[in-house]
Structures are given as structure tokens and as C-alpha cells.
Amino acid sequence: MDLESLLFNKYRLAVMTLLAKNREMSYKDLKAAISTTDGNLATHLRKLEEAGLIEVEKTFEKRKPKTIYRITPEGEAALEDFLKELGKILNNFRR
């Protein structure tokens, strides 16, 4: 799957923009912000991780598992490129 197709999905785009803004977020916080199911979010996160756009850190906090997601430099570049292209499309539409 090419990066443009990968980012065109509303959930994956939401994850990427949230991580770009916040630098890192827990699974719990991402799920609350995006309002989707565990299975749906996990699938989208895995696709972004496999593409190298995000990275995952799994730790324990007070003996409870905690998963943190961060956008990678490649992810930041891909998001920026995608948003530029989307901006061009919107500008052409407005004309």
C-alpha cells in the first residue's frame, strides 16, 4: 500500500495528526480521541507501524501494561507531503 493510500483513511489520518501534534500518545488516549473500537484502532496502528510511520513502546506502569505511540521522522514527512497534496486538491476545488 502506498503512503498516500495509507493516509487517506480517516482513522489513520487522525492518528497521524494527533501524534504530530502531541509527539506521543498512549493507546488509551488515542482510542478516546478517535472514538473507535479496540480492533479497528489496533488494525490501523499496525498498518502505520508496518509502514514505518509510527513507532511503539510497550512498558509497564504500576504493573499495568502501557503502550505509547510516536510519529517517526518518516511519518512526519509523509504526513506533511500528504497534507500539501490534499491542500492542492482543495484549492483546485475552490476555484
* More confident call, 2 vs 85: 85
Residue 90: predicted pLDDT: 86
- Supply the pTM of this predicted model: 0.88
Q: What span, in angstroms and rounded, lies between the C-alpha atoms of 88 and 95?
A: 11
Q: What span, in angstroms and rounded, lies between the C-alpha atoms of 31 and 82?
A: 23
Sheet holding 24-26, edge to edge: 24-26, 64-71, 54-61
* More confident call, 92 vs 45: 45
Structural domains for the chain: 3-86 (1.10.10.10)
Contact predicate 30/68, CB 8 Å: no
Per-residue pLDDT at 12 exceeds 70: yes
Given pLDDT bands bounded at 50, 70 and 90, which one contains residue 1? low
Nine-digit cell at 67? Answer: 503502550
Residue 4: predicted pLDDT: 72
Q: What span, in angstroms and rounded, lies between the C-alpha atoms of 27 and 64?
A: 13
Residue 8: predicted pLDDT: 87
pLDDT tens, 27-85?
Answer: 999 999 999 999 999 999 999 999 999 999 999 989 999 999 999 999 999 999 999 99
